[in-house]
Amino acid sequence: MTLEGIPEFYGDGLTMLRWLCRLTTPGLVVFFMVAAETDADIRHLDFGNPWTTAMSDAELHTVADNCRDALSLIVSGCERLSDFGFCGENGLAHRCSYLEKINVDSCKLLSDASLDAIAKHCVDLRSLNVANCSRFSDLSLAPLIETCKFLREIVLSHCQLVTDNTLIAIAQFSQYLELLHVDYCMHVTNTGLIVMSKATCAPILTSLDLSACRRISDHGVTALLSKATRLNNLSLFYCGKVTDRSIKALTHQCNELVTLNLGDLFQVGSKRSTPQSPSTTLPAQ
């Protein structure tokens, strides 16, 4: 791709664009070209599409070096990215310390080292999505949650190494949390849910996904639902130990529910269970 026709400056006449020549993924170049032509806010970097998933660590360094005031970064599905792209003096975490939203869903090469770098530099983080990153563990998540005290959204879906220790850290430090997804985190137990029920953030949670957390039961679910009464979205899909007791608790406690997923709860009585559809949208009250 040739960049000869790209203006050297745009917008305020001060922002250089020639650095795009160092990018080799066409989708990245197009993203910034369109942003320049439409005067879009490039503080919000959304590379989570099929045309930019081939981005390399070197390209991430280039973007970070030229977008240091970035507020959000979405690189979901960018499977070539590794810790090298996020760590060190040239890494994204160090260069873009104002980030408030990070989405690295399915960046499977990333490990705890990347989260350590993010925790060190991006303390203003509001939203973190590390779904399908199987190498992240409590060892990095708990310290990050302690450091980034303003988190409002945490998505840990399919993070196989996450345990109750991460939930304990959330309960202790995430006072403003509104969304928590720990679906398919097989090591989460009732202990984590009970601790969460005592957290400052429990009454303000609006979205909770516990799908396929096979170790939780009514004991933990009812404890959390007794406090998380402002939930709009709840999923208990495939939580095999959940029974009618939890269903009764949510019908009495969670009066603001909009969507509810109770699919594959084989211990729930047929007369009181959700219809066969695994997900249901509740009528407005």
Q: What is the CATH number of the domain that holds 270?
A: 3.80.10.10
Q: Give domain status of residue 164, yes or no.
A: yes
Q: Give domain status of residue 162, yes or no.
A: yes
Task: Report the distance separating Cα 268 and Cα 163, nearest Å.
Answer: 26
Q: Give domain status of residue 214, yes or no.
A: yes
pLDDT in tens, 254-263: 999 999 999 9
Query: What is the value of pTM for the model shown?
Result: 0.91
The pLDDT of residue 16 is 74
Domain total for the chain?
Answer: 1
pLDDT in tens, 7-23: 555 555 556 788 999 99
Task: Give mean pLDDT, residues 154-168.
Answer: 98
Q: Give domain status of residue 254, yes or no.
A: yes
Domain containing 113: what range?
A: 44-281
Burial class (CB in 10 A: 0-12, 13-18, 19+), 22: middle
* Residue (of 164, 274, 172, 256) closest to 210 by Cα position: 164
Q: Give domain status of residue 23, yes or no.
A: no
**Taking all residues of the chain, what is their mean pLDDT, rounded to a whole number?**
92
Q: Give domain status of residue 8, yes or no.
A: no
What count of other Cβ atoms lies within 10 Å of the Cβ of residue 132?
Answer: 20
> Is pLDDT of 278 > 80?
no
Confidence at 282, pLDDT banded by 50, 70, 90: low
Task: Give mean pLDDT, residues 96-105.
Answer: 98
What count of other Cβ atoms lies within 10 Å of the Cβ of residue 61?
Answer: 19
Q: Give domain status of residue 223, yes or no.
A: yes
Q: Give domain status of residue 195, yes or no.
A: yes
> Is pLDDT of 119 > 80?
yes
Confidence at 284, pLDDT banded by 50, 70, 90: low
Evaluate whether 84 touches 109 at the Cβ level (below 8 Å): no
Confidence at 277, pLDDT banded by 50, 70, 90: very low
What count of other Cβ atoms lies within 10 Å of the Cβ of residue 79?
Answer: 15
Q: Collect all residues with Cβ–Cβ distance below 8 Å to 163 and sequence separation of at least 6.
A: 138, 185, 187, 188, 192
